[in-house]
Amino acid sequence: MKRSGNTAWWTSPRPLWLVAALFAWLMATAWVRPLMAPDEGRYAGVALQMLYSGDWLVPRLDGLPFFHKPPLFYWIGAGAMALAGPVEWAARLPSILGAVVAAATLFLFLRRWSTVRLALLSTVVLVTTPFFFLGAQFANLDMLVAGCITGTVLLAAGAVLARERDEPWRAMLAGAYLLAAAGLLAKGLIGAVLPAGVLLAWCAVTRKTAALRLAAWLPGWAVLLAVAGPWFVAMQMRYPEFFDYFVITQHFRRFASSGFNNEHPFWFYLPVMAGLTLPWFGWLLVPRRKEAQPAGRRLCDVDWLMWIWLAVIVAFFSMPRSKLIGYVLPALPPLAYLIAQRVLAGRPLEVLLPRLRAMTLAAAAVCVACMMAIVVYATPPGARLRLPADLAAAPGDQVVMLDNYTYELPFYWRLRNPVLVSGDWKAAGDEGRDNWRKELLDAARFDPARAAATLIERTQLATTLCSPRTSWLVGPNNAQLANPWLGRAQLVAFNERIAVWRFAGSAARDPHCLDLSPGAPAPAAQATTGKGTDGND
Determine the pLDDT at residue 134: 96
> What does the alpha-carbon distance between residue 280 and residue 125 come to, in Å, rounded to a whole number?
7
Q: Give yes or no: residues 364 and 456 share one domain.
A: no
CA distance 326 to 142: 6
Of 378, 395, 419, the residue that ends a domain is 378
Q: Are residues 342 and 400 in the same domain?
A: no
Cα torsion at 157, 158, 163, 166 (round to 10°)? 160
The answer on 387 and 369 residing in a single domain is no
Q: Which residues of 380-418 are buried (b: 16+ CB within 10 A; e: fewer)?
A: bebbbbbbeeeeebeeeebbbbbebbbbbbbbbbebebb
Residue 183 located in a structural domain: yes
Specify the pLDDT at position 211. Answer: 82
Tell me: do 421 and 277 sit in the same domain: no
One-letter amino acid for residue 285 of the chain: L
Express the helix, strand and coil content of the chain in percent, nearest 5 each: 60, 5, 35
Q: What is the pLDDT of residue 44?
A: 95
Give me Rg for the CA atoms of the chain.
26
pLDDT, one tens digit per residue, over 210-237 is 788 888 899 999 999 999 999 999 999 9
52 pLDDT exceeds 70?
A: yes
Which range is most confident: 7-16, 305-314, 425-434? Answer: 305-314
Q: What is the average pLDDT value for the chain, to the nearest integer?
A: 86
Residue 277 in 3-state DSSP?
coil
Residue 6 CA to residue 341 CA, distance in Å, equals 20
Rounded-to-integer distance, Cα 508 and Cα 506, Å: 5
Q: Are residues 394 and 527 in the same domain?
A: yes
Domain stops at, among 336, 352, 378: 378
Residue 409 in contact with residue 499, Cβ under 8 Å?
no
Same domain (yes/no): 139, 172: yes
Owning domain of residue 73: 35-287+328-378
**Distance in Å from the first CA to the final CA of the chain:** 56
- pLDDT tens-digit map of 236-279: 999 999 998 888 877 776 665 655 567 788 889 999 999 999 99
State the pLDDT at residue 431.
55
Question: Between 173 and 526, where is the model more confident?
Answer: 173
Same domain? 355 vs 486: no
pLDDT digits (tens, 9 = 90+) for 455-474: 999 888 888 899 888 999 99
Is it the case that residue 533 has pLDDT exceeding 60?
Answer: no
Q: Is 113 a domain residue?
A: yes
Pairwise pLDDT comparison (196 vs 396), residue with the higher score: 196
Amino acid 515: pLDDT: 78
Strands 498-503 and 455-457: unpaired
Most confident of 43-57, 210-224, 352-366, 479-493: 43-57
Whether the upstream peptide bond of residue 34 has omega within 30° of 0, thus cis, is no
Q: How far apart are CA 233 and CA 67, in angstroms?
A: 14
Tell me, yes or no, whether 500 and 353 share the same domain.
no
Q: Is residue 201 part of a domain?
A: yes
| 453 in a structural domain | yes
Say what percent of the chain tops pLDDT 70.
Answer: 85
294 belongs to a structural domain: no
Residues 523, 416 share a domain: yes
User: pLDDT tens for residues 106-151?
Assistant: 999 999 999 899 999 999 999 999 999 999 999 999 999 999 999 9
81 shares its domain with 228: yes
Considering its fold, how many domains does the chain have in total? Answer: 2
Let me know if residue 307 belongs to a domain.
no
Q: How many residues does this entry show for the chain?
A: 537
Distance CA 67, CA 392 (A): 32
User: Model confidence at 534, in pLDDT bands (50, 70, 90)?
Assistant: very low
Q: Tell me: the pLDDT tens digits for 304-335?
A: 999 999 999 999 999 888 788 999 999 999 99
C-alpha neighbours within 13 Å on the C-beta side of residue 535: 20
Q: Is residue 257 part of a domain?
A: yes
H/E run at residue 18: helix 15-27
Q: For 201-215, b where at least 16 C-beta lie within 10 A, e where not — what string? A: bbbeebebeebeebe
Based on the number of CB atoms within 10 Å of its own CB, is 38 exposed (0-12), middle (13-18) or buried (19 or more)?
A: middle
Residue in 228, 227, 232 with CA at minimum distance from that of residue 247: 232
Please give the Cα distance from 418 to 440 (Å, whole number): 12
Nearest by Cα to 198 from 316, 344, 289, 50: 316
CA dihedral 281, 283, 287, 288 (to 10 degrees): -120
Give the bridge partners for 193, in sequence order: none
Exposure b/e, 177-194, CB count within 10 A at least 16 = b: bbbbbbbbbbbbebbbbb
Instruction: State pLDDT tens for residues 498-512.
Output: 889 999 888 888 888
Asked whether residue 22 is assigned to any structural domain, the reply reads no
Whether residues 167 and 92 fall in one domain: yes
CA distances from 341 to 172, 280, 281, 320 (A): 25, 12, 12, 31
Determine how many CB atoms are found less than 10 A away from the CB of residue 446. 21
Same domain, 234 and 356: yes
Q: Is 447 helix (H, G, I), strand (E, B) or coil?
A: coil
What pTM did the predictor assign? 0.90
Domain boundary among 378, 401, 417: 378
